[in-house]
Structure 1
């Protein structure tokens, strides 16, 4: 079954339209599982339910989070379902195994003031005016649209041509959605396009190929990497006087959704803007607001005072 891992991933990509990051996650989780099988002398094609449960216990002993263990079990279940459908096995030994569940910790949300400070801090981070403009544009777009970081850094430059009022985003599983742009984001985007095109023209004069990405770089992917943007946000947080531990691209996405909801936006609309397949995923933001209201009452209501 080790040899069938590649075919499983190809099937996921073809039939389910799984994104590159999702396929990489499947590969990591299943390689860990198959490595554990090899270390303990288990043949995956003959593995039983108790053996898979032993693997999950080993994951727990390593101190892996509930969400990580739940994700690995999900990958194993799908892997054995694939093996059953392809008649490599006559059963799915993982079918009846209950997962550890997922912890429902509320996302840490940046306040509107903190977001404003981040956007201002981006003005001073970069090796020159062009990089500083790029950094401001990145943050402004992320907060204005709630995009995933992979969607943001991988934006094609064609999406920004013509001073658009909306952006067409290619999300998970190849699903498209439209997100509106704020006036500030539109203005910064057009300023960045001018600077970007000028830099691209200089590169062409030196014999370099033109980039199709809005935020080009010399990385293998051809655009700014998620990791580079993550580190860049930490630098901006320091500049803004905010703890770097409190800041990440995904937390700015959380801020986008929470601030919209706090200002009266409809939950279904937020679901569409975030690209969530299920509104239940979006509902966590209502819990964030409930916690805030509870804290507000406990802090300010006269009957809550000691």
Structure 2
């Protein structure tokens, strides 16, 4: 019997499609900065670029690890916006690249001497030209563990959900979040963010019985 968790979710139907089972929490702003500062202090140039880009891009892990330098760089500099074709939906999605992320990416590209057509995050294992989703997951869990988060409550989807969740909480603009995530249906965005539950709890907390 095949393991339903084995393989990339970008190439097969997820075992939890349409369900809210095991939804992973997004990072808080304080947790984002705790990881970011730690990576800066210890000079982990690749990890800082990977972390910042994962937050900004909101891409699934399988799309993130396959990015090439020329997906983001134009004229020798990292662009402020990029567009990527999603493997799962076969639809393009655009994302912003903030100034801090551009700086960390340029530092990493220079340090690794990456060329225009190279994968942005090459693998250190000879069998793979770029980080695998499994390697990415291990790196992400290391970040969470280092700042004291329970690794069972977070995953690579935490990285994808973090910025959209922050945007929704600040703006309540669900359509904007849908576009940023590249969802074709608004219902998918509602389910993905779990916002109906969050909004209900928020209203309950603000109501005195």
* Length-normalised TM-score, structure 1: 0.56
In structure 2, relative to structure 1, the CA distance for the partners of 1:181 and 1:243 (3 Å cut) is: same
Q: Where in structure 2 are the equivalents of 1:168-187 lying within 5 Å?
A: 168-172=83-87, 173-187=89-103
Correspondence for 1:231: 138
Instruction: Provide the rounded CA distance (Å) in 2 between the counterparts of 1:211 and 1:275.
Output: 25
Instruction: Provide the rounded CA distance (Å) in 2 between the counterparts of 1:259 and 1:294.
Output: 17
Residue 296 of structure 1 deviates from its aligned partner by 3.8
Instruction: Provide the rounded CA distance (Å) in 1 between the counterparts of 2:174 and 2:205.
Output: 27
Instruction: Provide the rounded CA distance (Å) in 2 between the counterparts of 1:261 and 1:141.
Output: 19
Correspondence for 1:157: 69
Instruction: Provide the rounded CA distance (Å) in 2 between the counterparts of 1:25 and 1:137.
Output: 28
What SS is found at the alignment partner of 1:179? strand
Correspondence for 1:120: 37
1:302 aligns with 2:192: no
- Greater share of helix residues, 1 or 2? 1
1:192 aligns with 2:108: yes
Structure with more relative contact order (C-alpha pairs < 8 Å, separation 6 or more): 2
Residue 170 of structure 1 deviates from its aligned partner by 1.9
Q: Tell me which of 59, 78, 89 is aligned to 1:147.
A: 59
1:282 aligns with 2:194: no
In structure 2, relative to structure 1, the CA distance for the partners of 1:267 and 1:279 (3 Å cut) is: same
Residue 228 of structure 1 deviates from its aligned partner by 0.7
Superimposed CA distance per residue, residues 196-225 of structure 1 (whole angstroms, 9 cap, x where no aligned partner): 21xx59xxxxxxxx9720111234330011
What SS is found at the alignment partner of 1:115? helix
Higher Cα radius of gyration:
1
In structure 2, relative to structure 1, the CA distance for the partners of 1:268 and 1:24 (3 Å cut) is: closer
Aligned-residue Cα RMSD (Å) equals 2.9
Superimposed CA distance per residue, residues 81-134 of structure 1 (whole angstroms, 9 cap, x where no aligned partner): xxxxxxxxxxxxxxxxxxxxx433483323222232233343467xxx4xx111
8 A contact 1:155–1:213 mirrored in 2: yes
Correspondence for 2:118: 212
> Any stretches of 5+ residues in structure 2 without a counterpart?
1-6
> Any stretches of 5+ residues in structure 1 without a counterpart?
1-19, 27-66, 72-101, 202-209
In structure 2, relative to structure 1, the CA distance for the partners of 1:190 and 1:298 (3 Å cut) is: same
